[in-house]
């Protein structure tokens, strides 16, 4: 009993506790909205729902309001507290349109949305017959019977003279529905339509549809009025062949049209020649509709499409970003398009045939259907190259968008609410952005506008376009100029900033050419705080003001009062038009503020004197002089030889003792001859590119007070000198060194050596250079123009003592042929000799190979501190019979020379760094050679591989004896007698231990079971059409073999997890294009459909009793990157095919979590029937 009472007490306490908890929580209700796409609201008890800010839209209806009952009899009260879950109903009234009948006495007719006309035909004048209604006064556009009304209309009647008495005439109406054409023919009652009176109609898309007669028999005698409708059939010959594209399965089960990127002059390209004329897109793939054109679907290495017309069938509902980039189209017709994704029409180009050939432009014409309802991003992203040229044509029955003319005759494409302009067809040089347009689409104002007026008060402006404007007029207040608001307005002559401006972003007026800028105190205060484009704003304009207390004109300059350090003034702008050759900055100036662009821009200015009190020169302090480039001939290799001419520019700058820092980009002049320090110097820091000159060998003096020099402090300045040797830095012959200690130096900056063919390092006395810093010789300003075009360096000998060479230290030395590295070298960083295209020899003198750590691209992208290039990376395109590929290894003729006896040590380091792309370059002339002898013991006989430094690969070995045996591998001992096989050769390349005769004997071991370890062709993993899961090694070649049971097209399908583009595991799943090879068992040789040979790799071909067996690749697979889409997928049943690939993802290394193996799922996916074409190769 006591237990029962205790239990009841506990239950009661629990109930009270739950009740109290319930009391403490406020009840929530949902308010949902029916009949419109409005988000459901969650409302607390006794609070009110919020009226949706935007009224719902329903095509053909007007929104009336929100109602509380489904019968729509009582309006919903949004001020009434919510006590339960509630549904609110949207009420709409169908729109009514007016049809007005011109040139008749018929009254106007009211017609509901999608209704049809009920008014009877008008009575024709005496002696005439009624032909039909037309929608224009010229009576050329017919209004067909049963047309659905979706807007207000004006109709004009058309009459024709009677050709027969009324009782004898029958009217035959011929209709072309594709063009809203009709023609009425008078026929004598009881007779058929005479052949001579039958009109000839063409389809709206006449090059895509063939005439297929009329829907009724013309030979039937007529007894009453009749209508004949033209029929057309689609011309299937216009469809673009399927293999011109690839196809991506979308989430809804349909397909998207994707790019099939093809290289020119390849076997693949032969089946995809240039298409011209009128073409249409395919409508289905694998029996499913194609509903989307994916981004860059028409892109390729060469132009495959130069079309007058492209028809996009009704099944295509969506256009992806830059969908038409890469092709050329004059006109594109859409039949069922609903959504244009952001930048969907971006990159589209056309070709207009002219007398001298084809002229390329961006004037593609797009014809949009009534079905279009979504324009993502707002802007159609077309170009507007000239006034009067139209690119967008819209079906007039589209209910979501429409065109209107503004007061200047421009055609504006609005949305239904008229708060957004999506496209402007410019017919005038004037344009006004209306006040009612509140949703501003980026870059909507086209080029060609000269007078741009912006109406209404606006919170902010950014990137609205209109860069061609010469005048900008504000009719309203604007609070903010965001970044890019009026950038690149290079034609504007006057600019009056709007009232109410509170913020100007740094890039708001970047690269603007002004003649005059009008300011007052408020505007200046704002400019001084926010800037006005900074040093990126062009100089040359006049600052205008009536009353201004914050700045003054003084000594041919604009000075801001009292805003510099220590209560001094700020120097804003020296008059750009000044012709003075010397300028002395007024005393009292303690700062430079390039608010209006660079403080000094006059090319006539030869000398500038900076007063005491200034502590730093900011970016944009001085920008004078010009360099003009001219072509002067060609080199023997076909490259252009460039000349240059330096025009004007400041020569001398006198600096104060108070100056502590030169900021990046502070001094830009090609003519600099010297920095003067009349009162001594306390300079502490040089930032990257603080001085930008050009081919300047003048001695420029710096003090030894400098404590910090960032990498590449100068561009084009080749003879800097630090006076004295007591500081942190020291110079020898223009080379700048950092002192690491009393004996060792780090070279941080050296002359660029434009004209010399050999770089001579200076004598550093008692100091030894042990390090060369990153980018020590690589220009910051423009390596493409400066280094690649002007450098003549052919020989580079790195001095003894150097232990480390940094990232891109000598990059872009394209003429370099000979490189000698010191015996003291310990490490070379990535990209150290990047782009040495013609490098022939690299001599390594250190007995131990230097460290060459491959820094993966994820580290470079995420941390941005390491080079993304291999040490000797180039970037050639190599063409073979079958394909063009990118090759990123060392120069094609380069050889690596290493000390005698060091081959194996160097080989292992180089192979680990970048496979045989580097290891294959090691010269073997001075290295020990051995012979590899293969004892196959029942297998095919294989010739010895003689006089080689390394065994590159296992020969293809097959059983020739009785029964069926399988190779278990090659071993170092013959265990056929005593069972002692020694060790198995696990990986290749292989260094064997030779006997006294210099021979390495290897013995084939056979077994009854198939051995699969994926390490070579003989022991490749066997894959089938069924999924198989394997633990495969990462960063090593993995071999596979497949024998199809039936003919077909197959591709390997891989699936595994890794860190590919983020710090989270992702699954990579899909088919892979791999070059496939077969083994001719009768002759025991590998037959590849292509053989890739990169000159310079020291790799032998295999020899066996039946002739050579070529290795399919003579360079690292990941380094040559065959053309995307390359696939030899047609396979015959019973034939064994081999393929090889490499797995892994470098993000593991970045996360210090590199795995030696990954779990891989693989199967062979049948992608088509045998004989089909994949990427143009059958």
What CATH number does the domain containing 774 carry? 3.80.10.10
Q: Are residues 199 and 70 in the same domain?
A: no
CATH number of 1021's domain: 2.60.120
Instruction: Indicate whether 1031 and 1158 sit together in one domain.
Output: yes
Residues 287, 248 contacting (CB under 8 angstroms): no
| Prediction pTM value | 0.63
The tokens for 828 are 């070379």
Are 338 and 299 in contact, with CB atoms under 8 Å apart? no
Number of other CB atoms surrounding residue 251 within 10 Å: 5
Paired with 44 in beta bridges are 28
The answer to the question of residue 1031 being in a domain is yes
Lay out the sheet containing 28-34: strands in order across: 41-44, 28-34, 86-94, 61-67
Per the structure, the complete domain to which residue 1129 belongs is given by 1012-1075+1122-1178
Q: What are phi and psi of 841, to 5 degrees?
A: -135, 140
Phi, psi of 552 (to 5 degrees): -150, 160
Six-digit token string for 10: 């506990």
Same domain, 1042 and 1137: yes
Q: What is the pLDDT of residues 242-267, one digit of tens each?
A: 989 999 999 999 999 998 877 665 55
Please answer whether residues 890 and 913 qualify as being in contact, where contact means their C-beta atoms are separated by less than 8 angstroms: no
Q: Is position 745 within any domain? A: yes
The alpha helices in 153-289, defined as continuous H runs, are 267-270
pLDDT digits (tens, 9 = 90+) for 677-696: 999 999 999 999 899 988 78
Domain boundary among 845, 873, 901: 873
Residue 161: Cβ within 10 Å count: 10
Task: Please count the residues of the chain.
Answer: 1178
- Find all residues with CB under 8 Å of 319, minimum gap 6, and list them: 292, 293, 337, 339, 340, 341, 344, 345
Q: 1148 and 1058 in contact (C-beta within 8 Å)?
A: yes
Alpha-carbon gap, residue 701 to 768, rounded angstroms = 24
Q: Please tell me whether residues 1047 and 1168 are part of one structural domain.
A: yes
Asked whether residue 922 is domain-assigned, the answer is no
Rounded to whole angstroms, the Cα distance separating 545 from 555 reads 18
pLDDT score at 361 = 56
Q: Are residues 216 and 335 located together in one domain of the fold?
A: no
Residues 221 and 264 in one domain: no
**Measured distance CA(1100)–CA(362) in Å, rounded:** 53
Of the three residues 234, 265, 283, the one that is the final residue of a domain is 234
Which run of H or of E encompasses 6?
A: helix 2-24
Q: What are φ and ψ of residue 60, in 5° steps?
A: 85, 5
249 and 225 in one domain?
no
Same domain for 828 and 700: yes
Is the residue at 337 inside a domain? yes
Instruction: Say if residues 537 and 596 touch (Cβ distance below 8 Å).
Output: yes
- Count of H-run helices and E-run strands, the chain: 9, 88
DSSP 805-833: E-TTTTTT-TT--EEEE-TT--EE-TTTT
Q: What's residue 516's pLDDT?
A: 64
- Whether residue 834 contacts residue 858, with contact meaning beta carbons closer than 8 Å, is answered with no
The answer to whether residues 712 and 794 belong to one domain is yes
For the domain that residue 65 is a member of, what is the CATH number?
2.60.40.4270
Alpha-carbon gap, residue 794 to 671, rounded angstroms: 28
Give the CA distances from residue 895 to residues 818, 820, 869, 898, 920, in Å, rounded to whole numbers and listed in that order.
10, 12, 19, 10, 9
Bridge partners, residue 1021, by sequence: 1040
pLDDT at 1050: 84
Cβ-Cβ contacts under 8 Å for 616 (sequence gap 6 or more): 659, 660, 661, 662, 663
Phi and psi at 496, nearest 5°, equal: -105, 115
What is the pLDDT at residue 523?
74
pLDDT at residue 1095, rounded to an integer = 36
Q: Which residue has the tokens 């009652």?
A: 189
Side-chain-side CA neighbours of 178 within 13 Å: the count stands at 16
Residues 6 or more apart from 503 whose CB is under 8 A from it?
A: 479, 480, 481, 526, 530
Spatial neighbors of 237 by CB under 8 A, at least 6 apart, are: none
Of 838, 873, 908, the one marking the end of a domain is: 873
Asked if the structure places residue 287 within a domain, the reply is yes
Q: Contact 509/486 with Cβ under 8 angstroms? A: yes
Structural domains of the chain, count = 5
Domain assignment of residue 261, yes or no:
yes
User: Looking at the structure, do residues 1136 and 1170 belong to the same domain, yes or no?
Assistant: yes
pLDDT of residue 417: 85
The reply to whether 729 falls in a domain is yes
Q: Which residues of the chain register pLDDT less than 70? A: 1-26, 263-270, 351-362, 383-386, 388, 494, 513-517, 529-543, 546-547, 632-642, 752-755, 778-791, 854-868, 875-888, 1059-1065, 1072-1129, 1144-1155, 1171-1178
What CA–CA distance (Å, rounded) separates 1160 from 595? 59
Same domain, 146 and 274: no
Question: CB-based contacts of 921: which residues, under 8 Å, 6+ apart?
Answer: 889, 890, 894, 895, 896, 910, 1096, 1097, 1098
- 808 phi-psi bin (left φ>0, alpha ψ -120 to 50, beta other): left
- Same domain for 224 and 254, yes or no, is no
**Sequence-ordered list of residues with C-beta below 8 angstroms from that of 1153, at least 6 positions apart, any chain:** none
Cβ-contact 861, 886 below 8 angstroms: no
- Based on its alpha-carbon atoms, the radius of gyration of the chain, rounded to whole angstroms, reads 40
Residues 6+ apart with CB under 8 A from 18: none
Q: Is residue 1093 part of a domain?
A: no
């Amino acid at each position: 009993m006591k237990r029962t009472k205790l239990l009841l007490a506990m239950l009661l306490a629990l109930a009270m506790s739950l009740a109290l908890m319930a009391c403490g929580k406020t009840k929530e209700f949902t308010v949902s909205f029916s009949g419109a796409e409005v988000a459901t609201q969650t409302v607390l008890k006794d609070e009110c729902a919020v009226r949706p800010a935007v009224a719902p839209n329903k095509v053909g209806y007007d929104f009336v309001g929100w109602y509380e009952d489904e019968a729509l009899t009582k309006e919903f009260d949004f001020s009434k507290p919510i006590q339960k879950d509630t549904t609110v109903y949207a009420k709409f009234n169908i729109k009514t349109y007016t049809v007005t009948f011109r040139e008749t006495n018929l009254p106007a007719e009211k017609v509901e949305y999608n209704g049809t006309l009920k008014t009877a035909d008008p009575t024709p004048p005496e002696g005439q017959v009624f032909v039909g209604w037309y929608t224009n006064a010229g009576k050329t556009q017919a209004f067909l019977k049963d047309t659905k009304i979706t807007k207000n209309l004006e109709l004009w009647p058309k009459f024709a003279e009677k050709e027969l008495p009324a009782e004898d005439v029958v009217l035959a109406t011929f209709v072309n529905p594709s063009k809203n054409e009709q023609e009425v023919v008078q026929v004598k009652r009881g007779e058929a339509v005479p052949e001579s009176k039958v009109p000839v109609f063409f389809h709206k898309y006449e090059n895509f549809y063939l005439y297929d007669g009329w829907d009724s028999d013309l030979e039937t005698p007529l007894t009453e009025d009749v209508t004949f409708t033209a029929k057309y059939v689609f011309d299937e010959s216009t469809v673009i062949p399927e293999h011109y594209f690839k196809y991506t399965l979308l989430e809804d089960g349909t397909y998207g049209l994707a790019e099939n990127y093809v290289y020119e002059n390849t076997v693949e390209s032969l089946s995809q020649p240039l298409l011209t004329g009128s073409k249409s897109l395919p409508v289905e793939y694998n029996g499913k509709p194609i509903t989307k054109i994916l981004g860059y679907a028409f892109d390729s290495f060469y132009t495959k499409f130069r079309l007058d017309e492209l028809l996009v069938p009704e099944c295509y509902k969506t256009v992806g970003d830059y969908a038409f980039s890469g092709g050329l189209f004059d006109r594109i017709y859409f039949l069922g398009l609903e959504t244009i994704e952001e930048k969907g029409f971006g990159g589209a180009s056309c070709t207009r045939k002219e007398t001298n050939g084809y002229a390329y432009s961006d004037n593609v014409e797009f014809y949009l259907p009534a079905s279009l309802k979504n324009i993502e991003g707002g802007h159609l992203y077309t170009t507007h190259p000239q006034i009067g040229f139209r690119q967008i044509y819209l079906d007039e029955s589209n209910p979501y968008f429409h065109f209107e003319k503004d007061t200047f005759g421009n055609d504006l494409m609005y949305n239904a609410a008229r708060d957004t302009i999506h496209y402007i067809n410019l017919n005038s040089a004037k344009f006004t952005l209306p006040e009612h347009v509140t949703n501003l689409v980026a870059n909507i104002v086209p080029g060609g506008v000269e007078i741009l007026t912006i109406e209404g008060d606006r919170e902010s402006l950014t990137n609205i376009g209109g860069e061609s404007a010469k005048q900008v007029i504000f009719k309203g207040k604007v609070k903010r100029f965001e970044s890019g608001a009026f950038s690149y307005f290079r034609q504007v002559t006057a600019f009056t900033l709007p009232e109410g401006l509170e913020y100007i972003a740094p890039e708001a007026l970047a690269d603007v050419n002004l003649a005059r800028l009008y300011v007052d105190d408020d505007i200046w205060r704002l400019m001084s705080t926010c800037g006005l484009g900074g040093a990126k704003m062009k100089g040359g304009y006049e600052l205008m003001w009536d009353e201004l207390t914050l700045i003054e004109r003084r000594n041919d300059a604009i000075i801001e009062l009292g805003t510099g350090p220590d209560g001094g003034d700020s120097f804003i702008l020296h008059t750009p038009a000044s012709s003075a050759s010397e300028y002395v900055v007024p005393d009292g100036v303690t700062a430079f503020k390039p608010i209006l662009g660079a403080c000094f821009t006059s090319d006539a200015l030869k000398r500038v004197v900076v007063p005491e009190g200034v502590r730093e020169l900011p970016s944009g302090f001085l920008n004078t002089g010009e360099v003009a480039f001219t072509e002067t001939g060609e080199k023997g290799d076909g490259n252009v030889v460039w000349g240059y001419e330096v025009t004007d520019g400041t020569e001398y700058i006198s600096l104060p003792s108070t100056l502590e820092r030169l900021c990046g980009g502070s001094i830009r002049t090609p003519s600099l001859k010297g920095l003067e320090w009349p009162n001594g110097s306390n300079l502490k820091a040089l930032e990257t590119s603080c001085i930008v000159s050009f081919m300047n060998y003048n001695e420029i003096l710096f003090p030894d007070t400098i404590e910090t020099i960032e990498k590449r402090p100068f561009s084009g300045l080749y003879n800097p000198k630090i006076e004295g040797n007591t500081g942190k830095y020291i110079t020898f012959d223009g080379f700048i060194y950092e002192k690491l200690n009393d004996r060792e130096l780090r070279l941080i900056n050296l002359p660029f050596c434009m004209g010399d063919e050999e770089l001579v390092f200076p004598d550093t006395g008692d100091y030894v250079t042990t390090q060369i810093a990153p980018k020590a010789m690589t220009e910051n300003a423009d390596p493409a123009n400066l280094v690649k075009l002007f450098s003549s360096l052919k020989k580079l000998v790195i001095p003894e003592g150097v232990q480390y060479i940094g990232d891109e230290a000598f990059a872009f030395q394209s003429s370099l042929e000979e490189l000698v590295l010191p015996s003291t070298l310990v490490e070379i960083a990535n990209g150290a000799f990047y782009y040495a295209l013609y490098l022939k020899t690299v001599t390594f003198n250190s007995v131990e190979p230097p460290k060459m750590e491959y820094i993966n691209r994820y580290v470079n992208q995420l941390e941005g501190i390491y080079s993304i290039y291999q040490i000797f990376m180039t970037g050639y395109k190599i063409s073979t019979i079958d394909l063009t590929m990118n090759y990123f290894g060392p120069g094609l003729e380069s050889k690596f020379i290493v000390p005698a006896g060091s081959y194996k040590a160097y080989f292992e380091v180089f192979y680990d760094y970048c496979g045989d792309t580097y290891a294959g370059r090691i010269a073997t002339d001075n290295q020990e050679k051995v012979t590899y002898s293969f004892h196959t013991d029942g297998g095919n006989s294989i010739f010895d591989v003689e006089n080689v430094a390394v065994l590159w690969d296992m020969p293809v070995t097959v059983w020739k004896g009785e029964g069926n045996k399988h190779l278990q591998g090659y071993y170092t001992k013959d265990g056929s007698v005593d069972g002692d096989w020694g060790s198995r050769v696990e990986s290749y390349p292989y260094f064997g231990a030779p006997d006294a005769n210099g021979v390495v004997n290897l013995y084939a071991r056979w077994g009854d079971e198939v051995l699969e370890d994926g390490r070579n062709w003989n022991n490749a993993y066997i894959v089938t059409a069924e999924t198989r899961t394997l633990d495969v090694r990462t960063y090593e070649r993995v071999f596979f073999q497949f024998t199809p049971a039936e003919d077909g097209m197959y591709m390997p399908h891989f699936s595994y997890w890794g860190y590919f583009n983020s710090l989270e595991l992702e699954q990579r799943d899909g088919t892979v294009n791999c070059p496939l090879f077969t083994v001719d068992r009768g002759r025991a040789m590998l037959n590849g459909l292509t053989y890739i040979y990169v000159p310079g790799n020291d790799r032998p071909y295999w020899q066996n009793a039946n002739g050579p067996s070529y290795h399919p690749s003579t360079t690292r697979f990941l380094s040559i990157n065959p053309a995307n889409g390359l696939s030899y997928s047609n396979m015959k049943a019973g034939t064994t095919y081999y393929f090889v690939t490499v797995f892994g993802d470098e993000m593991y290394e970045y996360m210090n979590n590199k795995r030696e193996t990954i779990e891989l799922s693989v199967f062979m996916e049948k992608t088509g029937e045998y004989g089909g074409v994949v990427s143009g190769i059958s």
